[in-house]
């Protein structure tokens, strides 16, 4: 089996590569990245071929079409900094890059395409969020992902035999996210601060809720999408919204600390206050159920990765 992973040096892409290597040791894996938010440290144990390339460039995809063929493509590469406001740049990299990929993957390679969408497409829509319900991104990042979903739906109509699966990840945390810097998850930001003995800082009053999902569950959803004969768009969350205050409590328990939270004003005009996945479709069609609660995921992450400097 020949597998392409874009965004392979990133947080989720590198976790995916590690699991693919473990589960499919004979697979030929090619990773692509331009290191704009990923880093080489994530790929040190990668045994396949690495290609430095820019997914937003047509010439890059023409080169890939000429030189390679794949059975499966996992498309994780994207601008993931949600505060980028350059609309042209965001949609060129995230949306147009995806269109180039779909054209080659479907017409040349006959490959299955599994791509990363995002809960950002829902913005402040009422929770629990459903795949075919209200869609109202609050920023151009969410818009670029919504346009990817629309493109996928259009191509599924044009090529009814094709396999395209979009996974709308909610808030992912876990090993491999440190090179994202200030765009790493709140779990990471708070854990690192609290491990230094510093007080956690939250936007007033810490009651905003997120559907936090451990990266191991996100990888499980990707493998299900590859192994099953499914197509379409699916939520990938835990189905349970948890507040930032609860997250601090969990971290205090795992770290054995009792650090008090400092609250400050939220400077963002666009901000999701509450995200929670409706998992009905993911459970019934994709067979996906999360295995990690926030308590278990944070404990595993802190004890087996953050404390051991992985």
Ligand X SMILES: NC(=O)c1ccc[n+]([C@@H]2O[C@H](COP(=O)([O-])OP(=O)(O)OC[C@H]3O[C@@H](n4cnc5c(N)ncnc54)[C@H](O)[C@@H]3O)[C@@H](O)[C@H]2O)c1
Active site residues: 141, 180
Strand-pairing partners, residue 235, are: 168
Query: Are the C-beta atoms of residues 229 and 180 closer than 8 Å to each other?
Result: no
Cβ distance to ligand X smaller for residue 100 or 155: 100
Q: Is 93 in the site for ligand X (CB under 6 A)?
A: yes
* Given 5, 7, 112, 200, the residue binding ligand X (CB under 6 A): 7
Distance separating alpha carbons of residues 16 and 43, to the nearest angstrom: 11
Q: Is 10 in the site for ligand X (CB under 6 A)?
A: yes
Query: What is the contact mask toward ligand X in residues 111 to 150, using x (rule: CB under 6 A)?
Result: -----x-x--------------------------------
Q: Is 238 in the site for ligand X (CB under 6 A)?
A: no
Rounded to a whole number of angstroms, the CA Rg of the chain reads 19
- The helix (H) or strand (E) run that includes residue 250 is helix 244-255
- How near is the Cβ of 147 to ligand X at its closest, in Å? 13
Cβ-based neighbours of 72, under 8 Å, separated by 6 or more: 1, 2, 3, 4, 111, 112, 113, 114, 226
Strand-pairing partners, residue 213, are: 172
Task: Give the range of 34-42, 222-230, 249-257, 289-297 binding ligand X by CB under 6 A.
Answer: 34-42
Question: Does residue 280 come out as left (phi exceeding 0), alpha (psi in the -120 to 50 range) or beta?
Answer: alpha
Distance separating alpha carbons of residues 186 and 206, to the nearest angstrom: 12
Q: Is 233 in the site for ligand X (CB under 6 A)?
A: no
Q: Is 19 in the site for ligand X (CB under 6 A)?
A: no
Of 45-74, binders to ligand X (CB under 6 A) are 54-56
Distance separating alpha carbons of residues 2 and 72, to the nearest angstrom: 7
* Given 23, 35, 69, 134, the residue binding ligand X (CB under 6 A): 35
- How near is the Cβ of 253 to ligand X at its closest, in Å? 23
Q: Is 298 in the site for ligand X (CB under 6 A)?
A: no
Query: What is the contact mask toward ligand X in residues 177 to 206, using x (rule: CB under 6 A)?
Result: ---x--------------------------
Cβ distance to ligand X smaller for residue 82 or 289: 82
Strands (E), the chain: 2-6, 28-33, 49-52, 72-75, 112-118, 164-169, 171-173, 201-203, 209-210, 212-214, 232-236, 242-243, 262-264
Q: Is 91 in the site for ligand X (CB under 6 A)?
A: no
- How near is the Cβ of 246 to ligand X at its closest, in Å? 18
Q: Is 104 in the site for ligand X (CB under 6 A)?
A: no
- How near is the Cβ of 245 to ligand X at its closest, in Å? 20
Q: Is 164 in the site for ligand X (CB under 6 A)?
A: no
CA distances from 8 to 1, 99, 195 (A): 17, 19, 28
What residues line the site for ligand X (CB under 6 A)?
7, 9-13, 32-38, 54-56, 76-80, 93, 116, 118, 169, 171-172, 180
């Amino acid at each position: 089996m020949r597998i392409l992973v874009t965004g392979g040096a990133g947080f989720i892409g590198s976790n995916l590569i590690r699991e693919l290597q473990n589960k499919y040791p004979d697979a030929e894996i090619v990773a692509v990245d331009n290191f704009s938010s990923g880093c080489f440290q994530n790929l040190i144990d990668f045994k396949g071929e690495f290609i430095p390339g820019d997914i937003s460039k047509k010439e890059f995809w023409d080169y890939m079409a000429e030189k390679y063929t794949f059975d499966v493509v996992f498309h994780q590469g994207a601008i993931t900094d949600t505060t980028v406001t350059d609309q042209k740049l965001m949609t060129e990299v995230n949306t147009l890059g995806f269109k180039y990929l779909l054209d080659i993957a479907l017409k040349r390679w006959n490959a299955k395409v599994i791509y990363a969408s995002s809960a950002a497409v829902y913005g402040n829509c009422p929770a629990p969020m459903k795949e075919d319900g209200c869609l109202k991104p609050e920023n151009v990042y969410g818009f670029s992902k919504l346009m990817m979903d629309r493109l996928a739906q259009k191509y599924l109509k044009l090529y009814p035999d094709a396999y395209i699966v979009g996974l709308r990840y909610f808030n992912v945390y876990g090993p491999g996210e440190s090179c994202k810097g200030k765009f790493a998850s709140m779990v990471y930001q708070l854990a690192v601060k609290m491990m230094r003995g510093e007080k956690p800082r939250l936007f007033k009053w810490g009651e905003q809720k997120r559907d936090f999902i451990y990266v191991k569950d996100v990888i499980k959803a990707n493998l299900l999408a590859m192994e099953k004969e499914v197509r379409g768009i699916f939520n990938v969350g835990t189905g349970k919204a948890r507040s930032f205050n609860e997250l601090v409590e969990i971290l205090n328990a795992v770290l054995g600390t009792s650090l008090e939270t400092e609250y400050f004003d939220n400077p963002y005009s666009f901000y999701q206050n509450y995200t929670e996945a409706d998992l009905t479709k993911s459970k019934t069609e994709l067979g996906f159920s999360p295995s990690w609660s926030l308590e278990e995921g944070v404990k595993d992450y802190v004890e087996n990765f953050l404390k051991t400097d992985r």
